[in-house]
């Protein structure tokens, strides 16, 4: 659906080149929610703004739904941009226009007939849960409500892609969750591809299918959230995964236990249905190994439940090895730590 190929972007500041993107390659599937996570200055905003060419890349190509946007002349580009909606951290609403007028704005620009605009605005306000607020002005709304207007407006032209530029960074945690739930809902109902940027792992874990980690203008790790989250490879990815408290606790437990003796400690990861089955207990019964659970967590990544246990195995070397083997044969990921 979205292909970014060898994307570079340099800014000119006082005659000097500031490189913001240094060779980005990304492929985002139709209908997925893809998150790009990175620290401040890593290049997230530049990257997302290159997808609709709000920012023109210095080199490389941006292909959306089979069309190379970088090769289009202005008028064609305007048309293609209607396929791509965008929402912003600070909402960017017209303060002198009502909620309904804000949502109608892109439809008026596209010269849609009045009756269609009226129908579409009502439909969109109902989708984002703002039916009763159509005649209010942005200043009369909460942050979460303003973002809902932003979302309705971004969907006005039935785009295939929705870009979210730190869409929840200005909101408190509870409101953030309700906006994330709305984005998930829209993705499911409309099948729209969503690309978001964030510096919060919580956002990625809650709603994304795929993730790219950006650092110094490069994607240093990418893949399915489940894989990247449970087996982070790059130091920057590990830092972000640690933002989500349970993994920090696990790490601290392991460090503590490792230093207190010579033991076999393993981290066992359960995914999906495995999470709720007594695989560990059954395996230990069969191999006659005793075990001691040092730390454990069960959580959820979007729709996928997962569990991680840090377990001390007690038995002779052969028993321990056959236990690890048996757990792996049953599909669990076992890492000796
Ligand atoms: N318009 C601009 N002119 C000059 N330099 C810029 C411009 N926009 C971004 N940069 C620089 O490009 C680099 C990447 O910035 P960008 O805003 O894309 O990162 P970011 O990850 O979105 O950061 P933040 O989370 O702080 O917004 C930084 O070094 C930044 O200073």
Q: What is the ipTM of this complex?
A: 0.97
Query: Is the beta carbon of 329 within 6 A of some atom in ligand 1?
Result: no
Per-domain residue ranges of the chain: 2-242, 245-336
CATH 3.40.50.300 assigned to domain 2-242? The reply is yes
Q: Report the chain's mean pLDDT, rounded to a whole number.
A: 92
Query: Is the beta carbon of 115 within 6 A of some atom in ligand 1?
Result: no
Atom number in ligand 1 closest to CA 38: 21
CA–CA separation, 225 and 209 (whole Å): 6
pLDDT above 70: residue 151: yes
Atom number in ligand 1 closest to CA 13: 4
Mean pLDDT of 95-103: 97
CA–CA separation, 48 and 26 (whole Å): 12
pLDDT above 70: residue 195: yes
What are the φ and ψ backbone dihedral angles of 158, each rounded to 5 degrees? 50, 55
* E strands, the chain, in order: 2-13, 16-28, 33-37, 59-64, 67-68, 84-88, 161-165, 193-198, 210-215, 218-224, 264-271, 290-301, 304-314, 333-336
Q: Helix, strand or coil for residue 334?
A: strand
Ligand 1 centroid to residue 37 C-alpha, Å: 14
pLDDT above 80: residue 253: no
Ligand 1 centroid to residue 166 C-alpha, Å: 13
Own/partner long-range contacts of 126-135 (Cβ < 8 Å, ≥24 apart)? 127/152, 127/155, 127/186, 127/189, 128/152, 128/182, 129/182, 130/99, 133/99, 134/98, 134/99, 134/100, 135/98, 135/99, 135/100
Pairing of strands 84-88, 304-314: unpaired
Identify the burial level of 122 via C-beta atoms within 10 angstroms of its C-beta, where 0-12 means exposed, 13-18 middle and 19 or more buried.
Answer: middle
pLDDT above 90: residue 246: no
CA–CA separation, 301 and 75 (whole Å): 41
Question: The domain at 245-336 falls in which architecture?
Answer: 2-Layer Sandwich (3.30)
Output the pLDDT for position 98.
Answer: 97
Query: Is the beta carbon of 13 within 6 A of some atom in ligand 1?
Result: yes
Strand order in the sheet with 67-68: 16-28, 2-13, 59-64, 67-68
Mean pLDDT of 301-326: 87
| Residues above pLDDT 70, as percent of the chain | 95
Query: Is the beta carbon of 41 within 6 A of some atom in ligand 1?
Result: yes
Query: Is the beta carbon of 42 within 6 A of some atom in ligand 1?
Result: yes
- Calculate the dihedral angle through the C-alpha atoms of 318, 319, 323, 325, rounding to the nearest 10 degrees: 20
Report residue 17's pLDDT band, with 50, 70 and 90 as the boundaries: very high
Query: Is the beta carbon of 206 within 6 A of some atom in ligand 1?
Result: no
pLDDT above 90: residue 83: yes
pLDDT above 90: residue 107: yes
Tell me whether the CATH fold assigned to 2-242 matches the one assigned to 245-336: no
Report residue 292's pLDDT band, with 50, 70 and 90 as the boundaries: confident
Rg from Cα positions in the chain: 24
Mean pLDDT of 158-185: 95
Query: Is the beta carbon of 17 within 6 A of some atom in ligand 1?
Result: no
pLDDT above 60: residue 262: no
Please report where in the chains the tokens 């460090």 appear, as a residue.
Answer: 255
Query: Is the beta carbon of 43 within 6 A of some atom in ligand 1?
Result: yes
Q: First and final CA of the chain: distance in angstroms?
A: 40
For residue 10, give both structure tokens.
């340099």
Nearest to 167, CA basis, from 140, 200, 127: 200
Ligand 1 centroid to residue 43 C-alpha, Å: 6
């Amino acid at each position: 659906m979205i292909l970014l190929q060898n994307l570079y972007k340099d800014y000119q500041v006082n005659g000097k080149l500031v490189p913001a993107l240094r060779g980005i390659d990304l492929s985002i599937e139709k209908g997925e929610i893809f998150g790009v996570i990175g620290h401040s200055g890593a290049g997230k905003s530049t990257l997302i703004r290159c997808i609709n060419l709000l920012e023109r890349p210095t080199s490389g190509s941006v292909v959306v739904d089979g069309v190379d946007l970088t090769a289009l002349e202005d008028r064609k580009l305007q048309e293609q941009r209607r396929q791509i909606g965008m929402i912003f951290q600070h909402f960017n609403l017209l303060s002198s226009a009502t909620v309904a007028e804000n949502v109608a704005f892109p439809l008026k620009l596209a010269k849609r007939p009045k009756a269609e605009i009226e129908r579409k605005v009502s439909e969109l306000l109902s989708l984002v849960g703002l039916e009763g607020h159509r005649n209010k002005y942005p200043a009369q709304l909460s942050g979460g409500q303003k973002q809902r207007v932003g979302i309705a407006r971004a969907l006005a032209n039935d785009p295939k892609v929705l870009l979210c530029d730190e869409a929840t960074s200005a909101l408190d945690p509870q409101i953030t969750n309700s906006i994330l739930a709305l984005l998930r809902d829209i993705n499911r109902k409309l099948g729209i591809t969503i690309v978001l940027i964030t510096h919060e792992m919580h956002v990625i874990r809650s709603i994304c299918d795929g993730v790219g980690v950006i650092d110094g203008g490069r994607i240093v790790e990418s893949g399915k959230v489940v894989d990247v989250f449970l087996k982070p490879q790059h130091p920057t990815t590990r830092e972000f995964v640690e933002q989500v408290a349970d993994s920090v606790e696990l790490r601290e437990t392991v460090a503590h236990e490792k230093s207190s003796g010579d033991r076999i400690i393993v981290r066992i990861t359960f995914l999906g249905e495995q999470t709720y089955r007594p695989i560990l207990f059954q395996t230990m019964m069969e191999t006659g190994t005793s075990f001691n659970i040092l730390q454990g967590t069960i959580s959820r990544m979007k729709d996928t439940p997962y569990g991680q246990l840090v377990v001390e195995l007690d038995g002779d070397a052969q028993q321990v090895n056959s236990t690890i083997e048996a757990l792996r044969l049953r599909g669990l990921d076992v890492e000796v730590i």
